[in-house]
Amino acid sequence: MLSLLVATAVALIRVRGLLASIMLTSVYGLLSASFFVIMDAVDVAFTEAAVGAGVSPLLLLLTVAIVGRKEAAPAQGRRAAMPILLVTVTGALLIIGTLDMPPFGAADAPVHQHVAPYYLEQSGGEIGIPNVVTSVLASYRAYDTLGEVLVIFTAGVAVILALAPPGQRGSFRLDDSSATPFVPNTIVQVVSKLLIPFMLLFACYVQFHGEYGPGGGFQAGVIFASGIILYGLLYGLPTVCRAIPPPVVEVLAAVGVLIYGLTGVLSLLGGSSFLDYGVFADDPVTAQHIGIVCIELGVGITVAAVIITIYYAFARQQERGRS
Amino acid sequence: MLALTVVVILLVMLVALARAFTAPNVFDRVLAANLFGTKTVLLIAALSYLSGSPDHLDIAVVYALINFISVIGVLRVTEWRREQRQNAVEE
Amino acid sequence: MEWVGNICLFIGSFLLLTGALGFLRFRDFYARIHACGITETLATGFILLGLFLHSDAVLPQIKLVMILLFVLFSSPTASHALAKAAWNAGVRPRDSDGVRLPLPPSDQ
Amino acid sequence: MDVFSYFNYWVVIALMMLGFYIVIARGNLVKKLIGLNIFQTSVFILYISAGKVSGGAAPILADGIALYSNPLPHVLILTAIVVGIATTSVGLALVVRIHAAYGSVEEDEILEQDAPC
């Protein structure tokens, strides 16, 4: 499995032409996700499948559609030797470093000695949900997760800022909805129309099932967004913008963060520390449940909205390039 | 039998991967990637039964969805390029 | 039930192998789509059916049926879209001697 | 000592170095971002490998399972993947802007245009 990963990476180096590289990136994403399944990291595999094999190749594709797929020849001769030398030396140093690491899979490695046993043993009683990953993510380390959600939100804002045309105020509107002639592709459109509702429904299932099985806000957001992106790819940007207006999405991205933050503030007002859910109900387990559901909802909304926003920004750029 | 199926799926994945590396044009590559993706769905499903943890089936569902999306995505981009070229010819 | 499932798995694996063989050996792009697309749908069906018969729990079975439905919908559609895109991009089939067939008159 | 016990780590390093190589040796900015992605994934694999316990099950509590893999790396990486795609998209947005300003995404050509200033 891992050797396959290396082979893909090597092929990525050798392949010229960006479209081919992107196909390989997608395959690479699938491969690493399968690897995560074998390593028991189901939640991670979930995310990587949706992100590494789905959204990130799509964004790369949109970029390539804007900037063109030609790639210059790599440097030859002495200029090419320098990176190889640098890489080899760094790699060799790192390999020497690994010799001190605990063997793979050992149960007594230092990683497994500190907080992890506590999470595994106590979370069943304290939080009361089976998926330990979710309870660590949304309860024990909720503060970290808040930071990460903010990073995602900021990234969305940055993309909007970077791609906004000069002089634009407020959210973008499509000015030339009739300018782009759209080639219908009936069979694919009809089948996708059937599939997209299931996709969105499945995203909701992932969102609310995240406490019992693999899943949660991050995964659900990405799946939801990729359903919308599929709709946009097939029916064109104007149609999808009419169904889900960009200003609404932008507001939703903020609302998601707000839900997360408010959950923390409410717990402050209730007299305990930030993001400590103990105040939401008399029974601590129920309280934890309420807190986790709120937070996951905030995460899901933010992630979905930010990715849709990013897609809108890129797709609009691409449409402008076309007309 | 399950183990044999897993081995066969891995073999086919290997073939698809090799093909994706050496494919002569974009469409062959997409075909190989698509084949690879559907085989991954099967692999995850079979593996989840082999290890007795049916939770993993969720992941297989996601794969089935995502794979379709990425194939469609690539094809749309090639179509856009064709449109561009046609527009350039017309002007 | 178990052995019926095993037979299904076996048929599915066999079909997968034939599909991969066709994918490698056929010389023409459309023949390769044909080899992949058709065997893929049938083989996926058989393998998922085999897995279905292997379990008793209901929730995994529902998920398997979902996967099957998705694959049954999306895989032929993807093959179709692929063939259409290739045709529009000017990939032409070859005849049995490996010579590219000319464009049909309607397309010129 | 068992050689295979380090195989995962070596693969991680190989992947990391391949990504690193793409980043420094290729001039195309989109390709550089792809290389960065590979680099990133190698870090994910390192964390997940570190969290694996031989014979352990996925960290979803169930009856009759005594040994679980370490959930902490999973949490870290799960969020890191989504943050990764967000930052990648910022990078891609910058690439698009660079393309609009310079008409090229090749590092050499951009540097050439900048040189007279």
Interface confidence, given as ipTM, is 0.84
User: What is the average per-residue pLDDT within C46-68?
Assistant: 84
pLDDT recorded at residue A9:
62
**Predicted confidence (pLDDT) at residue B86 exceeds the cutoff of 60:** yes
Size of interface A-D (CB pairs under 8 A): 275
**Contacting subunits of A (3+ beta carbon pairs below 8 A):** B, C, D
pLDDT recorded at residue A305:
92
Closest CA to A257 of A111, A150, A154: A150
Distance from CA of B8 to the nearest CA of D (A): 24
pLDDT recorded at residue D64:
65
Choose the weakest-confidence range: A122-131, B44-53, D47-56.
Answer: A122-131
Q: Judge whether B55 is closer than 8 Å to chain D, CB to CB.
A: yes
Size of interface B-D (CB pairs under 8 A): 4
User: What is the average per-residue pLDDT within D85-104?
Assistant: 87
**Could you count the other beta carbons within 10 Å of the beta carbon of residue A144?**
14
pLDDT recorded at residue B6:
83
Tell me the pLDDT of chain C averaged across its residues.
Answer: 80
Instruction: Retrieve residue C13's tokens.
Output: 């694996």
pLDDT recorded at residue A10:
65
* Per-window interface: D 5-44 vs A, CB < 8 A: 5-11, 13-22, 24-28, 30-31, 33-35, 37-38, 41, 44
Closest CA to B55 of C34, C102, A254, A37: A37
**Predicted confidence (pLDDT) at residue C30 exceeds the cutoff of 50:** yes
Q: Judge whether C55 is closer than 8 Å to chain A, CB to CB.
A: no
**Predicted confidence (pLDDT) at residue C107 exceeds the cutoff of 50:** no
Closest CA to A284 of A71, A176, A122, A147: A122
pLDDT recorded at residue A68:
72
Q: How confident is chain A (323 residues) per 10-residue block, as mean pLDDT? A: 61 65 80 81 84 85 78 59 77 75 68 71 70 76 85 90 73 54 72 87 85 81 90 83 86 89 83 73 77 87 91 83 63
* Per-window interface: A 79-108 vs D, CB < 8 A: 80, 83-84, 86-88, 90-91, 94-95, 98-99, 101, 103-107
DSSP A58-83: HHHHHHHHHH-S--PPPP-THHHHHH
Q: Are D52 and A22 in contact (CB under 8 A)?
A: no
DSSP A101-113: SPPTT-TTSGGGT
* More reliable by pLDDT, A176 or C20: C20
Q: What is the pLDDT of residues D14-26, one digit of tens each?
A: 778 878 887 887 7
pLDDT recorded at residue A179:
47
Q: How far apart are the first and last CA of chain D?
A: 59
Q: Are B57 and B45 in contact (CB under 8 A)?
A: yes
Residue type, A243: A
Q: Are A91 and D14 in contact (CB under 8 A)?
A: yes
* More reliable by pLDDT, B78 or A109: B78
Half-sphere exposure for C15 (CA within 13 Å, toward CB) = 19
**Predicted confidence (pLDDT) at residue C101 exceeds the cutoff of 80:** no
Which residues of chain D are within 8 Å of residue A2 when distances are taken between CB atoms?
Answer: 7-8, 11, 45
Share of chain D above pLDDT 70, in %: 87
C abuts A (3+ Cβ pairs < 8 Å) = yes
* More reliable by pLDDT, A48 or C108: A48
**Predicted confidence (pLDDT) at residue C43 exceeds the cutoff of 70:** yes
- Distance CA(A299)–CA(A296), nearest Å, equals 5
Q: Cα dist. A227→B31, B62, B67 in Å? A: 22, 11, 12
Which residues of chain B are within 8 Å of residue C55 when distances are taken between CB atoms?
Answer: 49, 54
- Distance CA(D94)–CA(A167), nearest Å, equals 18
Which residues of chain D are within 8 Å of residue B53 when distances are taken between CB atoms?
Answer: 57-58
**Could you count the other beta carbons within 10 Å of the beta carbon of residue A229?**
26
